[in-house]
Structure 1
Amino acid sequence: MDEIKRIKMSLHLLLVLIPFTVLAAQYSFIIVRAGAEVTLPCDNVRDDHVNCGATTWFFSDSEWTRSVDLFVNRQLDTSLISKSKEDRLRLAANCSLVIREVTAEDAGQYTCRQFDLTTQTYEDHVVYLSVVNMTEQKRTDEVTLSCSVSPYGRCDLTVKWLYMNIDVTEDNTELKTSQSSCSANVSFSKSHSVYKMKNYSSLTCKVKDGDKEEKFAFIPPSSEGQNKPAPGNNEMTTAWWWYIRLVVGFATIVIMVVILIRWRRNKIQGGDDAVIFSTVEAASSSTGPSADPSSLYANVTIIQ
């Protein structure tokens, strides 16, 4: 480990001391929802740079703070970044930077720098990352949805709410909207169809950065993760339940047909046979119901 640190420090000092000349710079603008995973591209990777050996990723969260190193010579530099961010970063095979579970603290300027030690030049790919956060606030008879954006530096973005893909305007009598720097709110009564039918997908937040535009549908917190069993629990999936219901229903029909045939035969023959049948059952265990359809059974008893 100490040897790796020494190599990393030596390379870093080499890159600092040698007067490199910038050849070109590319720019990307990415807008992503908080909680998502994002891949920041590094499109200027040279073919002769094996395993991103001459690649440096660094980050600045505003125009007034200095940049901090993220990756140098494939190694993550943890000296100036938080532990929470450290655990969410990785370098992809093509030298792109991957950030998991994006948060507002990740917004900022990311630079992928490719060095050429032979010509003492470098190329930059600069990525400006903006993070969208959406919240819901309920009052007695009104609901307010907020859409705010964490940008890099001064906010030059436009944030608006759309209903059915149409801008919500200030003269809308059912949907009230307000805007401020890098954020927008929309409010509606609980009698509105959006709330009564839980049709939140009809409301989207539009974020525009120059020519780039992204739309984000509002997802109520209560709907996130629905129908997903917790890890390690023995609940069966919805598909399995439907399959078992189908088997149970079919078995019930078979039993009823047997009873009907036996009853008609007794009627014709004048017999007094009685038919007793049990309901369809599934074998159980201490771990809960079995998902194996072969465990289902039914009993039919004919008393003569």
Structure 2
Amino acid sequence: MSECHLCLLGLIALSSLLTGISGEDDVHVFISSGEDVRLPCNNAPNNALPRCNSTTWNYNRHSETVELISLGIKRKDTERQKRLSLGSDCSLKIRNISTEDYGSYTCQQWTGVDGKPLRPDAGVYLHVLHVSQTQISSDLSVSLFCRLYSYPRVSCDEWISSEGIHLFWVNRAGVKLNISDSRYQRSSSSDLCIISLTTTLLNEDHNREWRCNVTQGDKVKASAKFTVESSGEKTSPLSVLDSHNVNIKDCLCQKLRN
């Protein structure tokens, strides 16, 4: 199958998911890494006591299903178990979201009789926005990278054309950075949903907060903040402040040493 065919299939799948064709209860949640999130369970019973003893939460991203919650009880054999909790409304709460958490989550209700489901499954698709930086060079040049970890995996071009999802950098006032400002150089990846921002730090940039937004229409879905620490003096390079680095040229993600 050609690459164009694969892109088209991915776009059709994304449109189906976001418009609810794949399931009337499917929802999409956007969150910034490091924050806490609540994934709603839209098929939770209203009058069962205890309410969540029929609830099971599953996670899937690599065609492998992992059971996180089993009939209201948190599984202890998962990597996420210390960060998970079940809300009184049967929602799934995840603390300190990381880029490893993006993917598909499914809330199920079981009767416990003959293994039959009580209600149709309710799907939640979690998308994680993450900002990282390169090492600050001796001339105080730094590059920031903002990536939207989306499921199913699609490019920014597909997000824009199908659902009006945009990824961009904003200034301190929350206004999109002026593309004519020569101080900033920007680039993006047509494969992964990544945008970069390269600049030379000034004295007033010490402890400045940089922000990347993902929007749908005129609504901000998530905002990732990042603070670059620099004395504003041309000294030896500072250590990397984040363990993730993105190479825009070949669209690969690699780990940097802390």
Q: How many residues of Structure 1 are paired with residues of Structure 2 in the alignment?
A: 191
**Secondary structure of the residue that 2:25 maps to in structure 1?**
strand
Q: CA deviation at 1:150?
A: 1.7
1:91 counterpart = 2:86:
yes
1:183 counterpart = 2:190:
no
CA distance in 1, matches of 2:224, 2:83: 25
1:136 counterpart = 2:136:
no
Partner of 2:30: 31
Q: CA deviation at 1:98?
A: 0.9
Q: CA deviation at 1:88?
A: 1.0
Unpaired runs of 5+ in structure 1? 1-23, 224-304
- Whose relative contact order is higher, 1 or 2, with alpha carbons under 8 Å and at least 6 apart? 2
**Secondary structure of the residue that 2:100 maps to in structure 1?**
helix
* Cα shift readout 1:21-71 (whole Å, capped 9, x = no counterpart): xxx641221111211111111132112322311111101024xx1322111
Q: CA deviation at 1:145?
A: 1.7
Partner of 2:170: 162
Q: CA deviation at 1:120?
A: 5.8
User: Between Structure 1 and Structure 2, which shows a larger proportion of helix residues?
Assistant: 1
The answer (yes or no) to whether the contact 2:214–2:221 under 8 Å persists in 1 is yes
Following TM superposition, the consecutive aligned residue runs of length 4 or more in structure 1 with deviations greater than 4 angstroms are: 116-121, 209-212
CA distance in 2, matches of 1:177, 1:69: 41
Q: CA deviation at 1:217?
A: 5.2
**Secondary structure of the residue that 2:199 maps to in structure 1?**
strand
CA distance in 1, matches of 2:181, 2:229: 28
Q: CA deviation at 1:115?
A: 3.4
Q: CA deviation at 1:121?
A: 4.4
CA distance in 2, matches of 1:99, 1:126: 16
Partner of 2:225: 218
**Secondary structure of the residue that 1:218 maps to in structure 2?**
strand
The answer (yes or no) to whether the contact 1:146–1:183 under 8 Å persists in 2 is yes
**Aligned pairs (5 A) from 1:72-111:** 72-79=70-77, 81-82=78-79, 85-111=80-106
Partner of 2:68: 70
CA distance in 1, matches of 2:219, 2:111: 32
Letter in 2 for 1:198: H
* Cα shift readout 1:156-176 (whole Å, capped 9, x = no counterpart): 454211234333355431211
Relative to structure 1, the CA distance from residue 132 to residue 141 in structure 2 (aligned partners, 3 Å threshold; closer, same or farther) is same
Relative to structure 1, the CA distance from residue 93 to residue 122 in structure 2 (aligned partners, 3 Å threshold; closer, same or farther) is same
RMSD of aligned alpha carbons: 2.8
The answer (yes or no) to whether the contact 1:74–1:91 under 8 Å persists in 2 is yes
The answer (yes or no) to whether the contact 1:56–1:72 under 8 Å persists in 2 is yes
CA distance in 2, matches of 1:108, 1:178: 26
The answer (yes or no) to whether the contact 1:108–1:128 under 8 Å persists in 2 is yes
Task: Report sequence identity in percent.
Answer: 26
Relative to structure 1, the CA distance from residue 116 to residue 213 in structure 2 (aligned partners, 3 Å threshold; closer, same or farther) is farther
Relative to structure 1, the CA distance from residue 53 to residue 199 in structure 2 (aligned partners, 3 Å threshold; closer, same or farther) is same
Letter in 2 for 1:177: R
* Cα shift readout 1:252-271 (whole Å, capped 9, x = no counterpart): xxxxxxxxxxxxxxxxxxxx
Unpaired runs of 5+ in structure 2? 1-22, 160-164, 231-258
Larger Rg: 1
